[in-house]
Amino acid sequence: MVKVLGIETSCDETGVAVYASGRGLLAEALFSQVEIHKPFGGVVPELASRDHAARLAPMIRAVVGEAQITLEDLDAVAYAAGPGLIGALMVGASLGASLALALAIPAVPVHHMEAHLLAAMLETPRPEFPFIALLVSGGHTQLVRVRGHGDYETLGNTLDDAAGEAFDKVARLLSLPYPGGPALAALAERGDAAAFAFPRPLKSRGLDMSFSGLKTAVRLELEKRRGGDGVAPSPSLHADVAASFQAAVVDTLVTKCLRAVDETGIRQLVIAGGVGANTALREELRLQGERHGIVVHYPRPGLCTDNGAMIAYAGWCRLGDAARESPRIVARPRWPLDELRPVGNG
Ligand code: KG4
Ligand code: ZN
């Protein structure tokens, strides 16, 4: 049994977990910095780094204890090395590599999006290769053909905003608190999704996506409705806008997924990343999956948003690469997924 400690500090969540090959997750913990960033309406990178620095070591101790092992029982330390906020990444990378150095075990720098993409492998039943992955997070929106661990081909990409970014920006237009995505989704539940026919850019062709025009359409609609007469917009208007916006995003994402399935003939779909926690998206994909005979895998919401478990698992898959070199501190704010090469474990 190989035991890997996973450390996630790429953005505003501190995540720690222990994964054991053949057994699965032994323990995990997550601290969300939502309350720290809320007064600022978004993530303040400096505050994110400082809080990761304050919290990470005690969290590692607690999770290792909960897994009923000692630090000396660990076989490797995996940490999110990018993409993400450089200062935040540096905290996890520094402590992860230092710990590995002290324990004389490998340190595995993990690609955060690869970890998202493989998170569904922690669930039962596991998806089988090959599958199509819809990666929808705050910084990325991609359709990827996954042939095996580390064998990825990007089929479609967003040309501008990521889906999560669009959720966050529209949430701000609606004066919703950070984090915008979940707040907008909650408001949308009370609204009429058919109230506004917002555009679905690029829906009718190809696998690339675009969300910035949709965001602009929402802004213009709100400006029009608010008018110049100083009348405050009604709460139901905001709920209708939220529901109609969410419907446009879901419609676009689901259409692209179905097209990717059609074009590749691969009838397994895996949803990953923070927007994968969105109930409307999950429900529509479940419906369309049933209708079109596609097997849809979604990790539980806690494995869609940032977490240490996915880093530990991806670290185990990448252990072969890292075992040959001594621990290094790697932090890459930008790191294209296509640069990754296939791996042996999995
Ligand atoms: O994967 P993630 O936790 O962090 C990144 O790697 O970016 O994704 C965060 C993104 C944010 O844009 C957030 O607003 C969005 O995922 N998000 C949601 C929901 N939960 C998180 N968007 C829509 N509905 C949700 N329930
Ligand atoms: Zn993420």
Give mean pLDDT, residues 59-75. Answer: 98
The ligand whose atoms approach the alpha carbon of 280 most closely is 1
pLDDT per position as a tens digit, 127-152? 999 999 999 999 999 999 999 999 99
Asked if residue 345 has pLDDT above 60, the reply is: no
pLDDT per position as a tens digit, 16-54? 999 999 999 999 999 999 999 999 999 999 999 999 999
Residue with tokens 């913990």: 29
Give mean pLDDT, residues 85-101. Answer: 98
Residue 321 is predicted with a pLDDT of: 84
Residue 232 is predicted with a pLDDT of: 65
Asked, colleague to colleague, whether 3-118+303-339 and 129-298 share their fold, the answer is: yes
Is residue 114 within 6 Å of ligand 1 at its C-beta?
no
pLDDT class for 344, splitting at 50, 70, 90?
A: low
Residue 226 is predicted with a pLDDT of: 81
- Residues above pLDDT 90, as percent of the chain: 94
Is residue 185 within 6 Å of ligand 1 at its C-beta?
yes
Fold (CATH) for 3-118+303-339:
Nucleotidyltransferase; domain 5 (3.30.420)
C-alpha pair distances (Å), 38 with each of 82, 168, 251: 24, 13, 30
Residue 50: which residues within 8 A CB-CB, separation 6 or more? none
Residue 324 is predicted with a pLDDT of: 84
pLDDT class for 274, splitting at 50, 70, 90?
A: very high
Interhelix angle 163-173/235-264, nearest 10 degrees: 170
Give mean pLDDT, residues 192-208. Answer: 96
Is residue 83 within 6 Å of ligand 1 at its C-beta?
no
Of ligand 1's listed atoms, the one at least distance from the Cα of 305 is: 3
Helix (H, G, I), strand (E, B) or coil at 142: strand
Give the rounded distance of the alpha carbon of 265 from its chain centre.
25
In angstroms, what is the C-alpha Rg of the chain?
A: 20
Q: Could you say which architecture CATH assigns to the domain 129-298?
A: 2-Layer Sandwich (3.30)
Is residue 275 within 6 Å of ligand 1 at its C-beta?
yes
The one-character DSSP state at 120 is G
Residue 250 is predicted with a pLDDT of: 98
pLDDT per position as a tens digit, 12-23? 999 999 999 999
Which tokens is 316 given? 């185990």
Q: What angle do CA 263, 267, 269 make, to 5 degrees?
A: 100
d(CA 48, CA 333): 15
Residue 221 is predicted with a pLDDT of: 95
How many C-alpha atoms does 148 have within 13 Å on its Cβ side?
8
Domain residue extents for the chain? 3-118+303-339, 129-298
- Compute the mean pLDDT over every residue in the chain, rounded to the nearest whole number: 95
**Ion ligand 2 residues within 5 Å by Cβ:** 137, 306
Nearest Cα neighbor of 243 from 188, 166, 172 is 188
Which tokens is 103 given? 């324990």
Asked if residue 235 has pLDDT above 90, the reply is: no
Helix (H, G, I), strand (E, B) or coil at 333: coil
Q: Phi/psi zone of residue 84: left (φ > 0), alpha (ψ -120 to 50 degrees), beta?
A: left
Give mean pLDDT, residues 83-90. Answer: 98
Asked if residue 98 has pLDDT above 80, the reply is: yes
Is residue 180 within 6 Å of ligand 1 at its C-beta?
yes
pLDDT class for 323, splitting at 50, 70, 90?
A: confident
Asked if residue 230 has pLDDT above 80, the reply is: no
Task: Count the Cβ atoms, other than its own, within 10 Å of residue 204.
Answer: 8
Looking at per-residue confidence, does 231 or 340 come out higher?
340
Amino acid at 73: D
